[in-house]
Amino acid sequence: MAFVHVKPKSQWKTVDISASLISGTNFNDLIELQELSDYELEEIDKGAYAEESTRKKKSKKKRQDQDLLEEDCDTKSEDHQLNASEDEEEEFQPELKLNVKGAENKKRQEKDRQKKKKRKKKQKKGNVLSVDSDITADNELSVMKTNHEESSGINKMKDMEAWDGLGVPDLVLAALQDQGFTAPTPIQTLTIPHAIRDRLDIIGAAETGSGKTLAFGIPVLNHIIKKLNLTGEKVTRDLQGPLALILEPTRELAIQVMKHLNAAAKHLQIKAVTVIGGMSVQKQARLLAHRPEIIIATPGRLWELIEEGQEHLQKLNAVEQLVVDEADRMVEKGHFEELSKILALVNSDEVKRKTRQTYIFSATLTMEQVQPNRQIKKRKVEKNALKHKLDQLVEQMGIKGKPKVVDLTRKEAVVHTLTEAKINCQADEKDLYLYYLLHQYGGRTLVFCNSKDCIRRLVSIFTLLNCNPLPLHADMHQSQRLKNLDRFTEKTKSLLLASDVAARGLDIPNVDHVIHYQVPRTVENYVHRSGRTARASKEGLSVILVSPEDISNFRKIVNHIKQGSDLPDFPMEIDTLHHLKSHVALACEIDKQEHRLMKQKRNKNWMQKAAEEMDIELDRDLLGDDEDEDRKENQLKQQLKRLKAQLQVILKQPVLPSKFSSRYLTKTGHLVLPVQNTSSSAVADLKTTVKKRKHQEI
């Protein structure tokens, strides 16, 4: 077979083409059309052409494709000559790659050979695409692509060098890099190698916000990758049951862990789903029908689905990875009765139990538990209480052999970036001091209460004060709880009133202040509450409101956390506090009147409804005079309306700061107006005050 070489005798000339002729989609990549009118066609043998092409190629891979490129050169003779610069060649990278792939297609080669003679006849009228230009561009593209891949790989290894030696799978590392986790936390550094390399059971204790989720999540993902031999390619499998079970104390924490694990497994075909209360049972059954590898559950709903005979949960005793998060609370006597049933089911197969890997984590796992007064019978503290607590956990969880215990908790039990303070006040003054903190300092504030009734009362009062509070407690529907959490994180200045359901494990981003409206009953609760702020090495403030009734519990917490040293008093501006007192007093009065009105309505409606159901008539003496009752009710409504209008007027008035005088507003030569305190850092104010007090003492 003869090969033809075009020898030009004149310059290429641009051909003018009407835009209407090239408006079709087949001409989208056409830039310019040139013609060569004076040229000669010279026949060359195959060996000479191959020798000439070899000299121009730069990579071994392109030399292997030499014959295919030579056969494909004739198919390009009817294309347009592109006398473009290197930048123009780069724009045609996808087209050039397609040409090389097309040359490797045997079917296309056969069709091209059949049309070869017809195309040769059109060469004198048409244009020839430069073969040398194609080869050069292909070589340059290959070199550029290789260099780019090498450089990106080097950068990736450079960014994630801190993870070297931990045994983290490459696909998980890629997901961690996407999230910006370029270095492991201390708890991750100390637990991941022992879990992956040594396959030891892990008991981990670290401060809140220290990265405990990935400390057990990465080893769990690594085990599943090895079990299913996942390499990123699509695989088909039929699991008889879940490979990993993670138990959490609260619904919100379970959802949070699921999001973290799914993000770490974004490049894998591993799915984690939640089984929690407050959500549709049918929906969760549909999710379990897809046979996910990881189940994250709260004990109550999980046991409910097990009893209903959910297929994917019938072989929980074959689970190979078991995680119990916040374990000290999960195994407390009287808490989570279903947990003991689940653990009994999981550990029912002795052979599987011996090969299973178990993880136990909590921020207060190695802390000696201090019970409320009603549970204390003797003042003597058992010397081996901590050892007994860990031994009990090991026995209940079915841990085998000698586990790896990692304890990174500090003596103070809270992170060093947390600033703590107290405010001594009467019980009926707590509303005022809470309002003062909210009024003076912006940011996200999380307020903890011991009861749901207290939360409901505070929601009513601080709604009247235009603070837009968001409640979060166990009686709320799950969807509303999640919605309030999202609203709290969306705004830079927001208020969340929560019970201890939000105290453990929740990673709520950028919480500036935690306020203990009621003193927590245990030391563990104080540690977990305070741990919602000052996370990921950020600063945070924890303020506890202490009334005379709270002294006993407060002293227990201080003695345990601060080793007997007291918390500093939070600085207050007395003048500002005095101005805000009328706001809070009026809001509390409105709340009392509204509560009284609603209570009267409920009692009246209840009696009428009960009488209707029993088909009896009520004595008027019981209901009272309808007209008189209606008149009193209308008077109360009018009074409430006036009080609310008065409160709105007061709230719009600026609060005068201390040392401001309204007698001589222009004594400095210009008009001085009252400016509210715009300080956004309560931590800075507290630290400054503490330094001044120490200096005065010296």
Domains of the chain: 3-47 (no CATH), 163-367+387-407 (3.40.50.300), 418-575 (3.40.50.300)
Average pLDDT over residues 580-598: 93
Average pLDDT over residues 669-675: 55
pLDDT band of residue 655 (cuts 50, 70, 90) is confident
pLDDT score recorded for residue 26: 63
pLDDT at 427 over 60: yes
Q: Which residue has the higher pLDDT, 590 or 671?
A: 590
Average pLDDT over residues 176-197: 94
pLDDT at 142 over 70: no
Average pLDDT over residues 579-588: 95
- CA 26, chain centre distance (Å): 48
14 membership: H or E segment, kind and range:
strand 13-14
pLDDT band of residue 129 (cuts 50, 70, 90) is very low
pLDDT band of residue 65 (cuts 50, 70, 90) is low
pLDDT at 470 over 90: yes
Average pLDDT over residues 554-582: 89
pLDDT at 83 over 60: no
pLDDT score recorded for residue 145: 44
What rounded mean pLDDT belongs to the chain? 78
Sheet hosting strand 244-247, strand order edge to edge = 272-275, 294-297, 244-247, 321-325, 357-362, 202-205, 404-407
pLDDT score recorded for residue 468: 96
pLDDT score recorded for residue 625: 59
Average pLDDT over residues 475-484: 90
pLDDT at 657 over 90: no
pLDDT band of residue 119 (cuts 50, 70, 90) is low
Q: Which residue has the higher pLDDT, 364 or 253?
A: 253
Q: Report DSSP letters for 399-424, one per residue.
A: --S-PEEEE---TTSS-TTEEEEEEE
pLDDT at 694 over 80: no
For the stretch 361-374, pLDDT in tens is 987 776 655 554 44
pLDDT score recorded for residue 34: 82
Nearest to 424 by CA among 582, 572, 587, 579: 572
pLDDT band of residue 420 (cuts 50, 70, 90) is very high
> How distant, in Å, are the alpha carbons of 118, 291, 527 from that of 363?
81, 32, 8
pLDDT score recorded for residue 305: 94
Q: Which residue has the higher pLDDT, 262 or 604?
A: 262
542 membership: H or E segment, kind and range:
strand 540-546
**Dist CA 644 CA 465 (whole Å):** 10
pLDDT band of residue 133 (cuts 50, 70, 90) is very low
168-177, 284-293, 547-556, 601-610: which has the minimum mean pLDDT?
Answer: 601-610
**Dist CA 382 CA 61 (whole Å):** 75
pLDDT score recorded for residue 487: 94
234-243, 463-472, 673-682: which has the minimum mean pLDDT?
Answer: 673-682
pLDDT band of residue 469 (cuts 50, 70, 90) is very high
74-88, 263-277, 663-677: which has the minimum mean pLDDT?
Answer: 74-88
208-222, 410-424, 625-639: which has the minimum mean pLDDT?
Answer: 625-639
pLDDT score recorded for residue 108: 62
**Dist CA 352 CA 252 (whole Å):** 30
**Dist CA 372 CA 332 (whole Å):** 14
